[in-house]
């Protein structure tokens, strides 16, 4: 456990309110949840997709057709998928390779992840003009996923000082662009927490306490939204997607809390364990969404029939390892996949204990 000291620092203005937050400081470098869990390198083969060169600029737009941002417009969704797809695919290629390194020890997989990261850094991907709020959201998801992947492969022994000196400034440049956007937009909903995942992963990757602290400030803004019943007003306002967006808020908050935990900061316990109230409401909602239907007066589009999607439940691997929950374990056991690109692929601990989690009653 790293030592830390608490200093009073003026956090970024969020909704016009200055937040005071703990700065993680000290001689020890910031840690990731994958540190301390070494991978045994192997010669397992890995087929690496070809490098794709993308523009620094991203032109894309949102896809909802109603004021609640709850109804997807098919034509706008098609346009969004086509414009953002290459960037999301870049993230997917990198997280898949990084997870292959962690699950098989394949040097070829680690080299694949690093080669795609290097090419993206040389191209300055996502360092240019973001055309809309949605473009900034995609920017954050993809760079956050890449930063997590970099953390996953940094124990491979394949990263050179020259590569580090190329990649680190690129990740910081994009992340600071994200931070500037959220500081000016004053977002308080799930998008802020997703930006926090990007910032906390980037902060740990380059040992930048300011980025780490910014993510913690966003986390604290998020859990301040959690009501006594576990609901979040800004996510409840999303109509038929209220449960979906509660889950979409929970995922990044759990990740930031886990990064905090491995750096000596117990974010799980803050505000009288507010995050646990949100977790309980979400798990109950996946089993029976009547709370959300009654609160909104609208039938929910979550859950759908079949296995829960990784975007809904991959965070549960972290939660289950910290706070065993039989109801959550039963949902995890049904999941067809636990790899979610926005969260950098498989969650921490997935390669060590997913099988055990799924065996629990």
Report the predicted TM-score, pTM, of the whole model to 2 decimal places.
Answer: 0.90
Q: 352 vs 294, which has greater pLDDT?
A: 294
Sign of CA dihedral 275, 277, 283, 288: negative
pLDDT for 17 = 27
pLDDT in tens, 166-193: 999 999 999 999 999 999 988 889 999 9
Share above pLDDT 70 across residues of the chain, in percent, rounded to a whole number: 89
Rg (alpha carbons) of the chain, rounded to whole number: 19
Assess contact for 242 and 280: CB atoms under 8 A: no
- Best mean pLDDT range from 9-13, 72-76, 86-90: 86-90
Taking 70 as the threshold, does the pLDDT of residue 281 lie above it? Answer: yes
CB atoms within 10 A of CB 24: 25
- According to CATH, the superfamily of the domain at 39-185 is Chondroitin AC/alginate lyase (1.50.10.100)
Among 41, 61, 56, 147, residue whose Cα is nearest residue 104: 41
Q: How many residues does the chain have?
A: 361
Dist. CA 331–CA 315, nearest whole Å: 12
Taking 70 as the threshold, does the pLDDT of residue 215 lie above it? Answer: yes
pLDDT for 352 = 57
Distances (CA, A) of 23 to 169, 228, 268, 284: 22, 28, 17, 34
């Amino acid at each position: 456990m790293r030592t830390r000291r608490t200093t009073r620092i003026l956090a970024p203005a969020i909704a016009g309110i200055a937040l005071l937050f703990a700065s993680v400081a000290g001689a020890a470098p910031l840690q990731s949840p994958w540190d301390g869990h070494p991978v045994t390198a192997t010669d397992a083969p890995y087929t690496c997709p070809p490098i794709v060169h993308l523009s620094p600029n991203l032109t894309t737009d949102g896809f909802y057709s109603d004021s609640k941002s709850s109804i997807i417009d098919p034509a706008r969704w098609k346009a969004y998928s086509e414009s953002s797809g290459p960037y999301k695919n870049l993230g997917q290629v990198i997280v898949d390779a990084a997870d292959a390194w962690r699950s098989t020890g394949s040097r070829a997989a680690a080299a694949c992840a690093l080669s795609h990261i290097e090419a993206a850094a040389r191209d300055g991907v996502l360092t240019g003009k973001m055309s809309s709020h949605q473009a900034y959201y995609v920017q954050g998801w993809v760079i956050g996923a890449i930063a997590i992947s970099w953390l996953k492969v940094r124990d491979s022994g394949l990263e050179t000082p020259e590569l580090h000196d190329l990649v680190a400034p690129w990740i910081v440049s994009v992340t600071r662009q994200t931070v500037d956007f959220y500081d000016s937009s004053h977002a308080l909903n799930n998008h802020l927490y997703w930006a926090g995942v990007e910032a906390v992963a980037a902060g740990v990757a380059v040992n930048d306490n300011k980025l780490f602290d910014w993510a913690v400030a966003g986390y604290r803004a998020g859990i301040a939204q959690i009501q006594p019943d576990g609901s979040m007003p800004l996510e409840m306002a999303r109509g038929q997607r209220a449960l979906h967006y509660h889950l979409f808020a929970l995922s990044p908050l759990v990740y930031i809390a886990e990064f905090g935990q491995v750096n000596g900061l117990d974010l799980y316990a803050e505000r009288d364990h507010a995050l646990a109230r949100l977790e309980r409401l979400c798990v109950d909602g996946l089993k029976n969404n009547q709370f959300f239907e009654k609160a909104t007066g609208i039938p929910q589009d979550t859950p759908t029939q079949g296995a829960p999607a990784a975007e809904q439940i991959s965070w549960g691997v972290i939660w289950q390892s910290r706070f065993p929950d039989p109801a959550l374990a039963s949902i995890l056991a049904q999941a067809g996949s636990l790899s979610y690109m926005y969260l950098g692929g498989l969650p921490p601990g997935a390669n060590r204990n997913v099988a055990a989690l799924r065996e629990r009653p």
